C-alpha cells in the first residue's frame, strides 16, 4: 500500500519556496495544494493556479485546516484542498509560512516532510525579490513584518523534524531535492520525465 505524504515547503519570503514547489511539479509531477489568500495577485499570478485569490468576505466562507495573517494579509489551507491533491498523487506539496508548517507537522506527524529553505546572504535575498518584480514599498513592508523576521529562523517545533536546505546555489538545492524525492517517493508511484 502506498502511504500518503506531503512536502511542506517553508522559510522566509524570497528563500525559494515557490521555485522549489514548481520544480517538484515539473520534474516529478508532484501536485501542489493551492491555498487561499486575500493578498492581491502579483503580475502573472493566476487564481486557482498560484493561489485562490479571495476578498476578506469570501476568505471567511472557507473551511481551513489552519490559517494565518502574514504581513497584513490572510492565508489559509483547507482539508478539502489536501484531500483533492492526494486524490491525484500519494506525494504532494504545499507552501506555508513557518506557523503553518508547525501546525502541519503537529497534525500530520510523519506524513508531513518539512523542507525549511534559507538564504545565507540577506542582501542576495532582497535582490531576488527586486528581480522577481516586487515593488520596493512592498519589499520594505514585508521585510519589516513580524512574520518575516520570525521566519528567518527554524521554529523550535520543527527542529529535528525539518530538512534544512540553504538555497544559495540552485544546482546544490536541486540535488538535495532529488535525494529527498528518492527517499520519500515510492519508485512506482511517480513518473519522472
Ligand X SMILES: Nc1nc2c(ncn2[C@@H]2O[C@H](COP(=O)(O)OP(=O)(O)O)[C@@H](O)[C@H]2O)c(=O)[nH]1
Ligand Y SMILES: Nc1ncnc2c1ncn2[C@@H]1O[C@H](COP(=O)(O)OP(=O)(O)O)[C@@H](O)[C@H]1O
Output the smallest distance, CB 81 to ligand X, in A.
9
| Residue 70 touches ligand X, criterion: CB under 6 A | yes
The CA–CA distances, whole Å, from 20 to 54, 135, 140 equal 24, 23, 24
Question: In this complex, which beta carbon is closest to ligand X, that of residue 149 or of residue 189?
Answer: 149
| Interaction of residue 16 with ligand Y, rule CB under 6 A | yes
Q: Closest CB to ligand X among 41 and 186?
A: 41
Q: How far is the CB of 142 from ligand X (least distance, A)?
A: 7
Angle between helices 17-28 and 170-184 (to 10 degrees): 60
Asked if residue 103 binds ligand Y (CB under 6 A), the reply is no
User: Could you give the CA distance from residue 193 to residue 167 in angstroms, rounded to a whole number?
Assistant: 24
- Residues 156 and 116: their CA atoms lie apart, in Å, by 12
Which lies closer to ligand X via its Cβ, residue 168 or residue 190?
168
Q: Do 58 and 51 touch, CB atoms closer than 8 A?
A: no
Grid cell for residue 68:
494565518
* Binding segment toward ligand Y, per CB under 6 A, in 49-57, 60-68, 125-133, 176-184: 125-133
The C-alpha atoms of residue 82 and residue 31 are separated, in whole angstroms, by 10
Quick one: which segment of 65-73, 107-115, 119-127, 183-191 binds ligand X (CB under 6 A)?
A: 65-73
Alpha carbon distances (Å) from 90 to 57, 149, 185, 189: 33, 33, 8, 7
Interface residue with ligand X, options 23, 59, 75, 116 (CB under 6 A): 75
DSSP secondary structure, 157-172, as one string: GGTTTEEEEETTSHHH
Between 136 and 187, CB nearer to ligand X: 136
List contacts with ligand X (CB under 6 A): 13-14, 17-18, 35, 37, 39, 66, 68, 70, 75-77, 95-97, 99-100
List contacts with ligand Y (CB under 6 A): 13-19, 128, 131-132, 167, 169-170, 173
Amino acid at each position: 500500500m502506498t502511504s500518503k505524504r506531503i512536502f511542506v515547503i517553508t522559510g522566509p519570503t524570497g528563500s525559494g519556496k515557490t521555485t522549489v514547489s514548481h520544480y517538484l511539479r515539473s520534474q516529478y509531477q508532484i501536485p501542489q495544494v493551492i491555498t487561499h489568500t486575500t493578498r492581491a495577485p502579483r503580475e502573472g499570478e493566476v487564481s486557482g493556479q498560484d493561489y485562490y485569490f479571495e476578498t476578506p468576505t469570501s476568505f471567511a466562507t472557507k473551511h481551513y485546516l489552519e490559517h494565518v495573517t502574514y504581513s497584513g494579509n490572510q492565508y489559509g489551507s483547507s482539508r478539502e484542498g489536501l484531500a483533492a491533491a492526494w486524490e491525484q498523487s500519494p506525494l504532494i506539496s504545499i507552501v506555508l509560512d513557518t506557523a503553518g508548517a508547525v501546525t502541519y507537522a503537529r497534525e500530520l506527524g510523519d506524513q508531513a516532510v518539512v523542507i525549511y529553505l534559507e538564504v545565507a546572504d540577506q542582501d542576495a535575498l532582497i535582490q531576488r525579490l527586486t528581480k522577481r518584480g516586487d515593488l520596493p514599498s512592498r519589499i520594505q513592508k514585508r521585510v519589516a513584518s513580524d512574520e518575516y523576521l520570525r521566519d528567518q529562523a527554524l521554529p523550535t517545533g520543527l527542529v529535528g523534524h525539518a530538512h534544512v536546505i540553504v538555497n544559495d546555489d540552485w544546482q546544490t538545492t536541486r540535488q538535495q531535492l532529488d535525494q529527498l524525492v528518492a527517499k520519500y517517493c515510492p519508485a512506482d508511484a511517480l513518473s519522472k520525465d
